[in-house]
Amino acid sequence: MFEAKGVLPALVTPLDKNGNIMEDSLKKVIDYTIQEGVHGLFVLGSSGEIYGLTKEQKRRVLELTVEHTAGRVPIYCGASEITTRDCIDTAQMAKDVGGVAALSVLTPYFMTPNQQELTAHFAAIAKSTDLPVILYGNEGRTQVKIDVNTCAELSKIDNIVGIKDSSGDMTKMIEYLRVTDRDSFSVLAGRDTLIYAGLCHGATGAIASTANIAPRLVADIYNAFIEKDYKKSLELQFKLSPLRLAVDKATFPVVLKEGLRMVGIDVGYAFAPAAEMSPESKLILENVLKDLELYNSFN
C-alpha cells in the first residue's frame, strides 16, 4: 500500500522571459532540495504554474525531473486541469513518462462543480489510472471546497490514497483525519504554517512551497517530529512561519522564484500578468532569508 509521507517541495518551474523552461535551473532546484533532505518532489502543481504550461512543456518538466532525480526520491506529479478529460490526459502522460510514484489532482478552477460532480470527477480520474491519487484542496485559489463527507467517500476508492489540504482550516484537516482510515489514507498539510499542527493530529507530512527555498528547515520539522523531538519540531515550525508569510507579499508564485534567486538559483520569471516584487517586499524577503542564513547560501 502506497503511503504519502514526508516533506515534498511543490517545485517551481524555472522560466525565462519568453516562458521557455530553464532546464539547467530546474536541475539545480532538484539537486538543492534533495541534497537538503526533502523526502520527495512534487512537480506540475500550482507552484509549478501548471496552468500556464503547454502540454509539451508539462511532459518535458516531468521527463527532466524523472531523469535528473534518477530514483533518489519519489516523484509526485500534478494532473490538475479544469476538466475531467484533461486531467485524465495529463494522468496518462505521467504514466507514459514513467517514474512517477503518485498523482496529485487539484479541484477544478474557474468552473465550480458541486460535491456530487466533484466526486464523479475524482472517481473518473482514479479509474483511468493505476497510479495512486492524492486529492488536492486549495479553496482559497480555486473557490472549490472538498467537503469532509466527499473526502470520506472518495477515500474508499482503492487508488485514492490521500489528500493535500491547503485550506488553512485546521478543523477541516482534523476532520479529514477523523473520517478516513489512517492505515490506508494519508492527509498532507498544504499550508506551510500548519505542518507541525497537522503532524500532531496524524498527518503524514506536507507538500510545501517554501521547501523550494528552505528545504532543510521544512524537512526537519517532519524529521524532528518523527524522532519524537516535539519541542524542536515546533521551534522549527515557528522559524519557518515568517518565510511562509512573506510568500503573500506578491502575486503567487513570484516570491518563491525571488526567494530562490536570493538563495543563489536563478529560476527566472513567473507567467504574466504576475510581475516582480516591489523593492519594499524584496527587502522583507531578503531579511527573512538572512535571518534563516539562506541568503546566497547555494553554491
Q: Looking at the annotation, which residues are catalytic?
A: 136, 164
* Closest-CA residue to 81 (of 52, 114, 102, 38): 52
186 pairs with which residues across the strands? 162
CA nearest to 62, candidates 93, 34, 28: 93
User: What is the distance between the alpha carbons of residues 135 and 138, in angstroms, rounded to a whole number?
Assistant: 10
**Beta bridge partners of residue 162, listed in sequence order:** 134, 186
CA atoms within 13 A on the CB side of 299: 4
3-state secondary structure of 73: coil
Report the C-alpha gap between 87 and 84 in whole angstroms.
Answer: 5
**Cell numbers linked to 180:** 478516513
**Alpha-carbon span 12 to 270, nearest angstrom:** 9
CA 275 to CA 98: how far, in whole Å? 34
At residue 103, what are phi and psi to the nearest 5 degrees? -105, 150
Amino acid present at 237: Q
